[in-house]
Structure formats: structure tokens, C-alpha cells
Structure 1
Amino acid sequence: MSRVLKERNGPVLRLVLNRPEKHNAFDEVQIDELTRAIDEAENDPSVRLLVLTANGKSFSAGADLDWMRRMAAFSEEENLADAGRLALLLQRLNFIPKPTIAAVQGAAVGGGVGLVSACDIAVGTAQAVFGLTEVRIGLIPATIGPYVVQAIGERAARRYFLTGERFDAATARELGLLHEVVEDLEAAVARYSEMLLQGGPEAQAATKKLIRRVGRGPINVAMIEDTAARIAKVRKGAEAREGIAAFFEKRKPGWQS
């Protein structure tokens, strides 16, 4: 049985973590399946949007401890190669040029928080619970660290990385890990999907790159010149011309057809 299900609804591709009997704790097999699915979606122009969700009571319990126990017997070089699998998955999810939504029910722990952090938009039910519990079993939140710290900030990371305590959906919303706590997860995903599909796909890809650029470093001459160059390039593109024309002609642009 596949550990990652693919459900297609027009331009929206839903990737479903499908190991409910293990609370969607992932091992090398599920990591590789999810990485391949993300790469395939990136290379398929008919896919406009990815939704990451899960079957069962939990979103993801993070790394499968049986997998971790096996890896503890391996050499440091073998562990480095294995850790690279999760690092690659998070990189692919974070940098895919298409919008991504994480829909969280139940528990998201450790690497599960990493998956949520790497998505552009994250929504969860009030029953969702989160934890960065690695230190409690003598591990560290290493490969997920860059994405979680970007999501919740360094100050909050100091607390939750070091204590390993769990926190609820309302706290996740306050920290910025979740954008919204909702009663109806499917309705929220549908609402965000509708909004995201109104945007030009090339503009969204360029916007994700822009966010990464301006989110780092001081606002200086180099950054100002860079942002001016970006908008100048986009303005003369076919997508921008179509979008502006559609606005004045009071019609939908071609990418919404």
C-alpha cells in the first residue's frame, strides 16, 4: 500500500500521508514517496496547488522510532546519508514554486511540525496539538530547524525546542505556525484553494522567491535595486499583460479559465 496517496481535483493535488496505524510517523519509504510526489507535481504544469494532509487521528507523529532505532546502529556516514532524505524532502516542499497548504488534524510532532512549517499556508482544527519533542529522547530538531524557526521565530524556538513541551492549536496560531484555527478543515482548504487559484501561477512562483529574498538581510541599495529589477521583469511578461487586460476588460484572466 502506498504511504502517500494522491488525490486530484482539477488543478489541486492533495497528498495524503497514509500510515494511520503508525500515526503517520515517517520512515525512509514514506519520505521518498512524498519527495517524489512533490517533484512530480512541480514538473506537471496542470498542477497549480498542493494540499498536504493525512489519514487517521494524527497529522504526523514525526520520525518512526523503529526507523530511528535501526539508524542508531549505523555509521555516522550512513546516518548522514539517511538524514539527507528528510532534509531533501523539506527543501523540496519549502521551495516548490507552487502554493502549498498544510491541513492539520490531531497531532503534529517533530518532523510533522517541520512539514507544516515548510508549507505556505497552514490551517488546523482546534483538536490539533504540536510538539518539538526531540530532546526528550536525546535527539535534536536539526533538519526541520530552519523551517520551524522561520515559522515561529528564534525566541519561541528556544522555549519549545528545549522543553519539548506540547502546545495546542491556539498557541500554534499565536506563534505563527498556523494561520488559522478552523472548525471545518475541508471548508478552509476549499476557501484558501479558491483564493490561491485566482493568482497567476508565474506571479506566485516569483512572489515565493521574492519573499525569500526580502525576508533576509537589511533593506539596502542592493535589495531595493533587486526588487525593482524583479517587478520590471514581471511587468513585461505575458502573464502580467493578460492579467491587466482581463482587469480592464472585466473578465477572468486565462489562468482562471
Structure 2
Amino acid sequence: MDPRAPRLSGLLGQDVTGATPLGGAYRLRLADGTDVVAKRHDHESGVLAEAAGLRWLTGMAASTGDPGFRCPQVVAHDGEWLVIEAVPTGPATTDAAETFGRGLAGLHRAGAGAFGTPPPGGPVDAWIGLAPMRNETGTSWAEWYVAHRVQPYLRTAVDRGALHDHGPIDTVCERLADLAGPTAPPARLHGDLWSGNVLWGADGQAWLIDPAAHGGHRETDLAMLHLFGCPHLDRIVAAYDEADPLADGWRARIPLHQLFPLLVHTVLFGGGYGAQAVAAATAALSGL
């Protein structure tokens, strides 16, 4: 759909005078000179999930004196389009990284009702990127992670022929309780916190976009940051750990928490992601 179509102008209450592709979205110039970002979803649940996630994360940030990060404001949405404020970007500085690390710890401490809890107003059938993600709740992280974050994508990857030698992943599912580490309460997660979803603003703050927000284990967000790298990641983690100390052995559990996004990538893109998922499972088992 053309982002200049009357439907989007009607949603925004003014004409769209310019549109520039921005990855999977568009940066729009409105008649009043305002810039916004519009993202089209094939499913209404994708719009609702992302809008609810941004509001959930923003609500936590607004409730603290020093949130440490910001999220774009939801400008408007309908069953197809989500429109958010545009973020002027700047350099990734060590100060911004440390502030973000403290803010991420605060976000996780804000908590969730259960593992798998969707944001208020968010659908159970949500999305992570272009992959469906079902937000069924559970009280045991190990059981919930296997049932709702590993096995659905493992089955799909196998059915599509994208993953063959998945024995180590099966063993992880069987031994998850032994691998999970100390018990932790449900954290309020961004849920898709790879480096591309962390924008470094011209205002000197980190901005979080494209959430797949839900209640989960705080180490999952940190593992996603490690998956594809992030500027000043060591400073982010050090500030996080100072604000809310991480449990012993958390670094050894990074591959366990990366298994979820790697399986999502296997489903979406195939290629070498299946082998990376098996390697992550093997690494997770190495400590047993």
C-alpha cells in the first residue's frame, strides 16, 4: 500500500507530503512539517501488539525519575498501519550506554504478571518481527520457555526442512530445569532487543523500537543484545549489573537464551541460523 494513500492521511488527519523507505517502514513528512514513522503490518494483531508494547515500556519509563531510555510515542494506528514519532539519531556514547543499562535493569524490575504475559491491551497472538509469537502464560520459566519459545519454532523449522540435526536442542528441552539457573521473577521484557532495535538519539538517550514485549526472563533481553553485538555493550552490562546484580553464571546461560531468537531466525530466513541454533544448544549443554 502506498504510504501516501488517503487511508493513511485520514488516519493522521492531514496529508502525507513525502515518504522515504526506512527498512521495513517509511519516514513520512506531514503537511504541518512533522516527521513520523509508519510501519505496515499484514495482521491487525501485529499493530496492536507493537502499539501495546511501546505503551507498556513507556509507562514504566514515565513512572521512574530516571528511566534511562525512551520509546517513540504512538501517534496513531488502525488495523494495518502503526504510526510513531520519528527519532532524530546521534552517536552512541558511553554515557548513553551506561544510562541505558541502568534503565534496562529498571524496566526488568517493573515486572510482569507471569511469564508470557502480554502488555495491557496486547493480543495473545502477537509477533516477533515477521514470525508469530503466542503469549500464553506460565508460572515456571523453564516449562514456559520450552513450550512457548523453543518448541513452536523448532517444530516449524523442522517441518520446513530448515533444521535437521536438532538432537542438542531436544536435549536442552529435556534438561531445561537443570540449565535455567536461579529462580527469577517474570521481568518486563522488550522481547526483541537486538542492536537494530536500540536507536541512539540526538538527545543523548537510547530509544527502544519494535518491541515484542511480554513477561519473561531478564537474561533473554541481555542475550539478544549479545547476539548481533551492540555499541558499548560492556558498559551497558556493567551499569545494569551495578543497578541490579545479575545471577551467578548468567554469561554461561547466554546461548540458552539465544536459542529462542536463533530459532525464530531459522524459521524466517533459514540459511545458517539453524546451525547457529544447534551450536547454541550445544554450548548451553556444555556446563552440565
Coarse TM-score class (shorter-chain normalised): under 0.3
Q: Structure 1 or 2: larger helix share? A: 1
TM-score after normalising by structure 2 = 0.22
- Structure scoring higher RCO (CA < 8 A, sep ≥ 6) equals 2
What's the TM-score, normalizing by structure 1?
A: 0.23
